[in-house]
Amino acid sequence: MIKKRVFKTKDEVEVTFEWPVDDDIDVISLVADFNQWEVKPMSLNKRTKTFKYKVRLGKNQNYQFRYLLNDNVWENDPDADSLVENDFGSKNSLLSTY
C-alpha cells in the first residue's frame, strides 16, 4: 500500500510505503531510485501489522522502486501508479507525485 500526503506550501510529497506482515516474511526492504537503489529496511509496526517506510519526495516526479522480501524475493507494489520495464527483464513499480 502507498499513502501520499501532499503539502500545499512545500514542493514535497510525504510517501508512506506499507507491506502487510506475513508469517513467511522476516524482513522487507525498499529499494528505489530516490535512494540510489540501496537496500533500506522497512520498520515493523506491530500495532498496524505492517512494515513501513516513510520518505519525503519532490512533487511532479516519477520514481521507480521495488520491495525485497527476505533478502532474496523481488516484489512490486500492487498499489503502484504503474509498472515500467527495467534493465533486468522484469518490471519496477512506478510512483508518481504529480
DSSP assignment of 6-68 = E-SSSSEEEEEEEEE--TT-S-EEEEEGGGTT--EEPEEETTTTEEEEEEEEESS-EEEEEEE
Residue 20 has a pLDDT of 95
User: What are the cell numbers at 25?
Assistant: 516474511
- Tell me the one-letter amino acid at 16: T
| Model confidence band, residue 18 (pLDDT cutoffs 50, 70, 90) | very high
pLDDT digits (tens, 9 = 90+) for 33-91: 999 999 999 999 999 999 999 999 999 999 999 999 999 999 999 999 999 999 999 99
State residue 45's pLDDT score: 93
The torsion angle over the Cα atoms of residues 67, 94, 5 and 25, rounded to 10 degrees, is -10
